[in-house]
Structure 1
Amino acid sequence: MHGSVELSPFQKEKLLYYFRFLEPDEDGVLDASSMTRLLEKIFKYTGWSQEDRRAIQCLEVHEAIFEILFEKAEETGGERGKASLATWYAIWSHMLLGVKGMSGFPIWLRLMPKLLFEMIDRDGDEKISAEELLTFHHKLVVPQESPEVLKERSTAAFNQMTDNGAHPLDYQGFEQVFANFLIGRTPYGPGKYIFGCFSHESDLPFTLIQPSVEDE
């Protein structure tokens, strides 16, 4: 990897939530058992069988993530097969250099928003409902949060993701939200909510880019 960008404090904060989603051990380190725990919780939540296309893609994408993390950790003198939060930040500081949209990321990362979308869209109707987002947050992201507080926060997140219900949260919209999570350097925009970073809520609106009449 050549070149890097300094992550803003907020980028580090929201990436910490993503790191926690990947099931680090009690010492805050990712290892092979982390991926096992991660896949187990995802497959239990989604009900995907091992032969399911989505399960296979989920495995392949996360194998790529962990392989890159472990390689970077070893390059910087870390223990083989283990990756710390510092390694996680280092990976992102390289990948985010000069990136303006999802097309600038490696293929495995470009697959991630679709994978997450299919995890959350449990009824398969090709749009995420407020209830589906809340269930995802409760079961997979912040299960320790009180139900009352989480419902309030997840509902606020859904409202930002959909412009207060003006647009359905379909894949096109969710991909934009995920891009905001990856690229945004400030708390503005709803991307931070995907992995439960609710602490920097903003009143500024986030407008989804809608297709023009000619594109429809």
Structure 2
Amino acid sequence: MSANDAQAISQAYSTNGLTADKADPTWVNRCSQDLECLDLEEEQPLAQLSSIQTDKMTLFFTELLDHDRDDVICDQDFDNFFEKLAHFADWSTNSSEFHIMLEVKREFIEHFINPLPTKWAELPYYKRVCGPEAGGMAGRTTLEGWLARWALQLSEMKRFVDLPLYLQYLCKIVFHVIDRENMGEIRKPALAAFYRSVIGLSAKRIEEIIDTAYDRMTSNSYLILDYGTFVHCFTNWLMGKNPNGPGQWVLVPPKDALPQPPFPVDYSALNTEPAKLEPYAPDKKTNRHSVIV
């Protein structure tokens, strides 16, 4: 190939976004306008909720905060939610519980209404869904922004003690709101009253779900729904990524029927005297109905 031929070919490819190295005829794509190129500024969330987590947090948004159904929430919506909790629990404005609740409310506004920290706010995805224009004006959060913020909050959380303090206190607040008679445990009538007065479920809906809800939260009444058990339920509400967890009944119960567990759990064997337990042997016939694993 002559020098003139090489120059002519180089000029021809340059017009199409390709250039040729003069020393070595290797063609390099310079990404013309006609070609799709990798966009380094492409919107990508740093964390995402599972579908089950999305369902639970969506119900929190739509059923407990966005009462005017305008698809955005603001600090006033948190005022209304926490006022409803305080009213149901009959907490006076001078009580320690009420003041702790106010601090938790301020933290919710800080994390879910106020601007994100700079390390996230300048990223393209979060600028779009959580920026000042996302809700039509500053100080408002859309459902998409709400879910994105929860994903960031929960991405590194594995246990209850990993949660920020305001979420740990929210767990305690909700427990004491439901157990407003200070029994030290949540009983089925108390849970039903909470569903009716705070969540706003109809009597018919409560009758349909209350047994299932209480069974899921107490392992079919094997456990007492005291604060320790409720902590596990609350943790599952935030972090549980699969259906049929007890956390789905902590605040707003699921609207759709849940899939049945793949197999029933028999807790009676845990209370059986050791002498009456039959050792398992694969080659031995038995009348057993369950196996302790």
| Length-normalised TM-score, structure 2 | 0.64
Structure-1 separation of matches of 2:109 and 2:64 = 9
SS at match of 2:186: coil
Counterparts of 1:50 and 1:153 in 2: how far apart (Å)?
Answer: 33
Q: Which residue of 1 aligns with 2:53?
A: 11
The answer for the alignment partner of 2:35 in structure 1 is none
Judge conservation of contact 2:63–2:252 (CA < 8 Å) in 1. no
Q: Is there any run of 5+ residues in structure 2 with no aligned partner, and where?
A: 1-44, 122-126, 267-293
Q: Which of 164, 170, 179 is the equivalent residue of 2:220?
A: 164
Do the aligned partners of 1:118 and 1:124 also contact (CA within 8 Å) in 2?
yes
Counterpart CA distance in 1 for 2:244 and 2:87 is 33
Question: 1:72 touches 1:91 (CA, 8 Å); kept in 2?
Answer: no
Q: Is the 8 A contact 2:85 2:198 kept in 1?
A: yes
User: Cα deviation per residue 1:148-178 (whole Å; 9 max; x = unaligned)?
Assistant: 2222202210111111111110000000000
TM-superposed deviation, 1:121: 0.2
What is the aligned counterpart of 2:81 among 38, 43, 58? 38
Q: Could you tell me whether the CA contact under 8 Å between 1:161 and 1:190 is conserved in 2?
A: yes
Q: Is 1:99–2:141 an aligned residue pair?
A: no
Q: Which residue of 1 aligns with 2:196?
A: 138
State, as a whole percentage, how many aligned pairs show the same letter. Answer: 27
1:201 aligns with 2:258: yes
Q: For the residues of structure 2 that align with 1:14 and 1:206, how far apart are their CA atoms? A: 25
1:63 partner amino acid: R
Distance 1:183 1:127 in 2: 23
- 2:177 matched residue in structure 1: 119
| 2:198 counterpart letter in structure 1 | L
Q: Aligned partners of 1:112, 1:21: CA distance in 2, in Å?
A: 17
2:90 paired residue number: 47
Q: Is this contact kept in 1: 2:179–2:185, CA < 8 A? A: yes
For residue 157 of structure 1, what is the amino acid of its counterpart? Answer: A
Bigger mean CA offset, 26-35 vs 73-82? 73-82
Which residue in 1 is equivalent to 2:269? none
Q: Check whether the contact 2:217–2:249 (CA below 8 A) recurs between aligned residues.
A: no
- Letter of the 2:54 partner, please give it: K
Q: Which has the higher contact order (CA 8 A, sep 6+)?
A: 1
Could you say if the C-alpha distance between residues 119 and 140 of structure 1 is closer, same or farther in structure 2, counting changes exceeding 3 Å? Answer: same
5+ residue gaps in structure 1?
208-216
Partner of 2:112: 69
For the residue of structure 2 that corresponds to 1:111, the secondary structure is helix
- Greater fraction helix: 1
Of stretches 146-155 and 69-78 in structure 1, the one that deviates more from structure 2 is 69-78
SS at match of 1:92: helix
> Secondary structure of 1:71's match?
coil
Q: Deviations for 1:189-210, whole angstroms, at most 9, x for unmatched residues?
A: 1101122232253443789xxx
Instruction: Please report how far the alpha carbon of residue 94 of structure 1 lies from its aligned counterpart in structure 2 after TM superposition.
Output: 0.9
Show CA shifts across 1:106-135 (max 9, x none): 111121111110010011011000011111
Mark the structure with the bigger radius of gyration: 2
Q: How many Å apart are 1:32 and its aligned residue?
A: 2.4
Which residue pairs with 1:108 in the alignment?
A: 166
**Structure 1 match to 2:142:** 84
Aligned match of 1:189 in 235, 239, 245? Answer: 245
CA distance in 1, matches of 2:47, 2:253: 22
The CA distance in 2 between the partners of 1:135 and 1:56, in whole Å, is 24
Q: Partner residue of 2:231?
A: 175
| Number of aligned positions between the proteins | 204
Q: Structure 1 residues 120, 206: closer, same or farther in 2, change over 3 A?
A: farther
Report if the CA contact (8 A) 1:61-1:111 is conserved: yes
